Amino acid sequence: MVQRVVRQSSERTPIDACHVSDTKQQPELQLAATGLSFVGGLICARFHHTATRIMPLTRREFLIDSASTTLFASSLTTRSDGSAFPFRHGVASGDPLTDRVILWTRLTLPEGTLSASCQWYVATDPTMQNVVQYGQLFTSASRDFTVKVDVEGLQPGTTYYYVFEAAGQRSDIGRTRTLPEGSVDRLRIAYTSCSNITRGHFNVYKELAMRADLDVVLHLGDYIYEYADIDHCLRTGRPNAPLHETQTLEDYRLRHACYKGDKDLQEVHRQHPFMVIWDDHEVANNAWKGGADNHEEGEGSWKERLSGAVRAYLEWMPIREPSQPERGIYRSFRFGDLVDLTMLDTRLAGRHAQAETLEERNQASRSILGSQQEEWLKQCFHASAQSSVTWNLTGQQVMVAQLGTNDMPFNYDQWDGYPAARHRLFESVREAGLQNWVVLTGDIHSSWALELHDNPFADNTGKPLGVELVTPAVTSPGIDNQTRADIAAGSLEAVLPHLNFVDFYYRGYVLLDITHERLQAEWWIVDNIDSHRYAPGCLRKLSVESGTHQLKPAAETVEKLPSAPLAPAFSDDLAILRRWRRDGFGTVDGMLASSSAN
């Protein structure tokens, strides 16, 4: 349940002058705050008291346990006493609309705490002086002390800054932005997927965090991975929590907490609103509604595992929670008259199990979305066409375009494994008369650009129905040897007539620069994830002119746009100030405590 405890200030008041009374004097806040959702738990803080093993430690377990203690000890040294910093998992925002946005954080509190209150503030400036909204809410151990608020009454197309206060401490300042409405000339959207913490550093997130000109960041799934990945933990020095594969609610909570402890992930969430969708690894590899390849009989009930994974995801992510999450988390967003974005759930909303034979695969009744989501998407397409929105973007997980012929499909987990569902999807686009349909895809740990046809191998394919742009991963591997990756890419480009380009080697993200005249896509990559020493660059830039559905080389990369300032950073040299407790709301200038806060 998302709390909507909103207090609007009639005057723009500096944050330190805003006073939230005790809840005994504010019964409406106390009532509205009951049943708050959300979860957390830092890997370091919970590692020592979470029972994850019964059998004696193996050599691998001993090594990874030792590595965990060493790697994370430094992060605890300045936050380990009774006044420790409670916002160890950062802050985040998500699912912006024209008048509201989700704000998220998690409180790390002394063991034995059963419930806690938290205040939040939203301002129009990065120093938090012009506060326009504020409120108070409660969280509890039943939700692992995560906090989520749906802040209403905001202005469209506006950058806001926000902060939380709890346990006498203040969080880092976050930055978010509402969606525009009416006439919109230009948008900047970035998207990525597949971020396995054991496979390397989140340098891609670091790059995204430094771009001030983004309206929103999309994450298209595999935000976490369920595997134990002991070998990779040892290689990269980035251990998982828990050490074993995630199976229970507590396991998934700990895994989310482990990821949210990463400083680069925290920073990209702090600077940009996210729109997220899950793929399979948020639960288990190749998941569908009734099971997964990576779920065996000895691992307990699939229903319980799925329930725990979904609950932890909704607790941990800055997403507006659906009333019936078991039916999926698909939803849509409108960016004025320029873009309609639909975010599809190709995993848990209604997917049939992956086929085992060609005959099963070709059954007309098989679906990757489920009948309810298919009908919803059809209605979204028609509504968009009737509203004369220029571009239609569809964010989803697995590749839509054909990687094999109808008689020799390449991958039964992708849309290639559900040809009847893909035919219905294409028919929905035709019936709505969409002129600028662009599919945004993750999952496959590589970069692709393709044109979409009913049968791209036919002698006369006709005009493309749309284009598909696939993002590389944040860290998850493609082909790690560049020579072999280049050979594989060249081979595919020679046999797939609808393929513009593919790269299997680099990690990165896709940047979309969108106007009414054209959409430009740029694949931005990093050359190294084994350490924080890396070089970024643009791998490929392509443009689609409005009404053509054809990919062409772009002349140059887009320039960075003037943007609202990024949220100010808390100086590492002054991090010890976070240990200071303050009575009430002492004077604080932005992020730095003044001498009166001692």
Q: What average pLDDT does range 289-302 have in this prediction?
A: 89
DSSP 470: E
Q: Is the pLDDT of residue 166 over 80?
A: yes
Please name the residue that has the structure tokens 């401490």: 169
How high is the pLDDT of residue 35? 31
Torsion angle of the four alpha carbons 201, 202, 204, 207, in this order, in degrees rounded to the nearest 10: -100
Lay out the sheet containing 331-335: strands in order across: 331-335, 339-343, 391-396, 437-441, 466-470, 447-452, 499-503
Beta bridge partners of 164: 120
Residue-wise pLDDT for 409-458, tens only, equals: 889 999 999 999 999 999 999 999 999 999 999 999 999 999 999 999 99
HSE, side-chain direction, 13 A CA sphere, residue 42: 28
Could you tell me the end-to-end alpha-carbon distance of the chain, in angstroms, rounded to an integer?
37
Residue 597 CB neighbour total at 10 angstroms: 17
- Please provide the CATH number assigned to the domain covering 330-554: 3.60.21.70
HSE, side-chain direction, 13 A CA sphere, residue 482: 4
Q: What average pLDDT does range 217-234 have in this prediction?
A: 96
Q: Is the pLDDT of residue 351 over 60?
A: yes
Q: 139 vs 12, 24, 118, 387, CA distance in Å? A: 28, 16, 8, 41
Who has greater pLDDT, 424 or 11? Answer: 424
Q: State the SS3 of 351-364.
A: CCCCCCCHHHHCCC
How high is the pLDDT of residue 571? 54
How high is the pLDDT of residue 407? 80
Residue-wise pLDDT for 470-505, tens only, equals: 999 999 999 999 999 999 999 999 999 999 999 999
Q: Is the pLDDT of residue 11 over 50?
A: no
Q: Is the pLDDT of residue 404 over 70?
A: yes
How high is the pLDDT of residue 261? 96
Task: Please give the radius of gyration of the chain, using alpha carbons only, rounded to the nearest integer.
Answer: 24
- One-letter identity of residue 129: Q
How high is the pLDDT of residue 297? 81
Residue-wise pLDDT for 515-550, tens only, equals: 999 999 999 999 999 999 999 999 999 999 999 999
DSSP string, 153-208: SPPTT-EEEEEEEETTEEPPPEEEEPPP-S----EEEEEEB---GGGS--HHHHHH
Residue-wise pLDDT for 108-151, tens only, equals: 999 888 999 999 999 999 999 999 999 999 999 899 899 999 99
Q: Which tokens sit at 41?
A: 């738990």
HSE, side-chain direction, 13 A CA sphere, residue 519: 29
What does the alpha-carbon distance between residue 420 and residue 301 come to, in Å, rounded to a whole number? 31
How high is the pLDDT of residue 325? 85
- Please provide the CATH number assigned to the domain covering 7-42+81-176+572-597: 2.60.40.380
Residue spans of the domains in the chain: they are 7-42+81-176+572-597, 330-554
- Classify 50 as helix, strand or coil: coil
Q: What average pLDDT does range 288-306 have in this prediction?
A: 90
pLDDT band at 4; cut points 50, 70, 90: very low
Residue-wise pLDDT for 61-89, tens only, equals: 333 344 444 443 333 333 334 348 999 99
How high is the pLDDT of residue 432? 97
Provide the pairing of β-strand 169-170 with 159-166.
antiparallel
Mean residue pLDDT of the chain comes to: 85
Q: What average pLDDT does range 353-372 have in this prediction?
A: 96
Q: Under 8 Å CB-to-CB from 22, ≥6 apart: which residues?
A: none
How high is the pLDDT of residue 572? 54
Q: Is the pLDDT of residue 91 over 60?
A: yes
What does the alpha-carbon distance between residue 449 and residue 470 come to, in Å, rounded to a whole number? 6
How high is the pLDDT of residue 72? 37
pLDDT band at 593; cut points 50, 70, 90: very low
